[in-house]
Amino acid sequence: MNIVFSTKPSEKHQTYLTEKFSKPDFYFYEKMDMAQAALPDAEVLVTYGGDLTPELIRKSKKLKWIMLLSAGMDDMPLNEIEEAGILMTNVRGIHKTPMSEYAISMLLQVYRQAKAMMKNQENHVWNKKLHMQEISGSTMVVVGAGAIGQEVARLAKAFGMKTIGVSRSGRNVAYFDQNEKVENLKDVLPQADFIVSVLPSTNETRYLYTMEHFKLMPDHAVFLNMGRGDVVSTDVLLEAIRNQEIAHAVLDVFETEPLPADSPLWDEENITVTPHISGLSPLYMSRGLEIFSQNLEAYLSAKIEDMQNRINVSQGY
Amino acid sequence: MNIVFSTKPSEKHQTYLTEKFSKPDFYFYEKMDMAQAALPDAEVLVTYGGDLTPELIRKSKKLKWIMLLSAGMDDMPLNEIEEAGILMTNVRGIHKTPMSEYAISMLLQVYRQAKAMMKNQENHVWNKKLHMQEISGSTMVVVGAGAIGQEVARLAKAFGMKTIGVSRSGRNVAYFDQNEKVENLKDVLPQADFIVSVLPSTNETRYLYTMEHFKLMPDHAVFLNMGRGDVVSTDVLLEAIRNQEIAHAVLDVFETEPLPADSPLWDEENITVTPHISGLSPLYMSRGLEIFSQNLEAYLSAKIEDMQNRINVSQGY
């Protein structure tokens, strides 16, 4: 049984896997270019997923399981994967620690004027007059109340915030004071000091936020998007910021990534741009391979039902 | 009975006090210069404290109570206050929310490369290669385990950190996994990813941290000082940073404040300077006057024992 990686884990991680599992043969390749030739004999493929194409899936005649080392399902050849009856699992959950730290970090950065502080240090200026705000006691609306949204809410509660979760089902989720269905999003926006969007890209979420949503948010609101960039158009974002419908936008994801060098988003005083790094962590690969390794144990014992994070390929999540 | 303020609260706050308390006469002055003439008839003085001198205390013949709207007792004319038998209270406790947010914010800022991120945005550079670290799972040593240190530890626990509190008594304090006496500080430093110093300035704390302490910290440690600046000399700090004994220092307090424009601290890549703003909050005055107002009720009912935050003037805290 051949397990092909289209990304190369460190020596330490490779040794961990080969020592733990003696039966399968592991093939570690740096990129899909190099992994391609090994695919027709692969039973398992471990990949970040961005390198998957319909053609590759069709060529991989023996493929039974794709382990994704990411969580976003956009641009996956889902039709081909479904037709071939390939099992798919991902690393949902491992992003929650870095992403929740990102959210809290960026909101604090905006509220505590980090940018102006740094300029003042550069210029040797001692200025105590910058307006320092507290995130404690504010209200956060988290749009997307899954594992990541819940972890953001858990930290927000530690900071004494009121938390409102918005999800498709509106079901009660721990660490949220209130839970609403996505069709009631507009009702809760006027209360939001912070709106944290962790929505994936699906047919239902694409361009979900319109100008009307930003008008409903308070003028002092901070909108943070670390889900997917196509939940709101760049034009709407720019208009909302330029018309001061909200005070600040923190963006880690964009309609087009990398964000083109000539995008007007870079230069807006009240927009903070980061290069889709909210989920990065030095522990990313260790955590991802831990899930893979548990899933591989279940797979080898033919206990498919014990495998974590199985994707419903037809629904795309 | 005259109550003199040497700082002017907002109209809203003034009205709140004068409506709540009908008996005393309130005199609100913007500065001590203007308040001076009213001091000989004042029974109560409300001040931030930096404007107090031995001479002013001697002139204030009727003064029975000084309400400090700050918490630091450095440079107070304590001898004269003690001789005159003047009662002293402060606003200890109201700094804990902004200061704990400051600490978490600054540690996240260092770990998540906020400065480099902002430079990249300025230059329209999409660079995913910056080393993102997590604060979760790290170990924090909080030196000074009072109300502020405890609040920092509470948030640190929410981020999954191990917390070690260091105090004079070494007594057990909530939210610390371990508590040590200050004489055992050196024993715990090698474990510290973060050292957060919230020590006040006293004879015991002055220049407490020596080069030996910084050598004991791990090379990757971040030292954050938001207590008082004279717990460590500027020279020791500079040497520790330049010799890479630690990775970064975040400084909100300094031996001399404002930090002189020609201080070498401003230009060090691995030192973050902020202008003693960790305790600032838009809610500062509301919270301070809430304590004053509760204390005034107790004072007017001659229930001195019910007054909060009474200072032991001879000990200076």
For residue B168, name the pLDDT band (cuts at 50, 70, 90). very high
Give B174-197 pLDDT, tens digit per residue. 999 999 999 999 999 999 999 999
The per-residue pLDDT for B75 is 79
Chain B residues with CB-CB distance to A273 below 8 A: 121
Tell me the mean pLDDT per 10 residues along chain A, length 317: 97 97 96 96 96 95 96 86 96 95 98 98 97 97 96 98 97 98 98 97 94 98 97 98 98 98 98 97 95 97 96 84
Probe site for chain B from A163, A262, A280 (most B CB atoms < 10 A): A280
B70 neighbors B90 (Cβ within 8 angstroms): yes
The per-residue pLDDT for B155 is 98
> Architecture of domain A2-94+282-306 in CATH?
3-Layer(aba) Sandwich (3.40)
For residue B73, name the pLDDT band (cuts at 50, 70, 90). confident
Nearest by CB to B98, from A102, A127, A134: name it. Answer: A134
- Homologous superfamily assigned to A96-273: NAD(P)-binding Rossmann-like Domain (3.40.50.720)
* Averaged pLDDT, B71-76: 80
Instruction: Report how far Cα A158 is from the mean position of its chain's Cα atoms.
Output: 22
Q: Is the pLDDT of residue B72 over 90?
A: no
> What span, in angstroms and rounded, lies between the C-alpha atoms of B178 and B68?
33
Give B81-138 pLDDT, tens digit per residue. 999 999 999 999 999 999 999 999 999 999 999 999 999 999 999 999 999 999 999 9
B56 neighbors B31 (Cβ within 8 angstroms): no
Nearest by CB to B132, from A98, A108, A127: name it. Answer: A98
- DSSP state letter for B29: -
For residue B289, name the pLDDT band (cuts at 50, 70, 90). very high
Q: Give me the long-range contacts of B158-164 (CB less than 8 A, separation at least 24).
A: B158/A154, B158/A155, B158/A158, B159/A101, B159/A155, B159/B104, B159/B135, B160/A97, B160/B136, B161/B135, B161/B136, B161/B137, B161/B194, B162/B138, B162/B191, B163/B139, B164/B139, B164/B140, B164/B188, B164/B191, B164/B192
Nearest by CB to B108, from A105, A115, A258: name it. Answer: A105
The per-residue pLDDT for B316 is 75
* Averaged pLDDT, B195-218: 96
Top-level class of domain B2-93+282-306: alpha beta
CB pair distance less than 8 Å for A130 and B101: no
Q: Is the pLDDT of residue B308 over 80?
A: yes
Backbone angles phi, psi at A121, to 5 degrees: -60, -45
* Averaged pLDDT, B7-13: 96
Of B19, B17, B71, whose CA–CA distance to B44 is shortest? B17
The per-residue pLDDT for B225 is 98
The per-residue pLDDT for A317 is 72
Q: Where are the domains of chain B?
A: 2-93+282-306, 96-273
**Same fold for the pair A2-94+282-306 and A96-273:** yes
Chain B residues with CB-CB distance to A133 below 8 A: 281-282
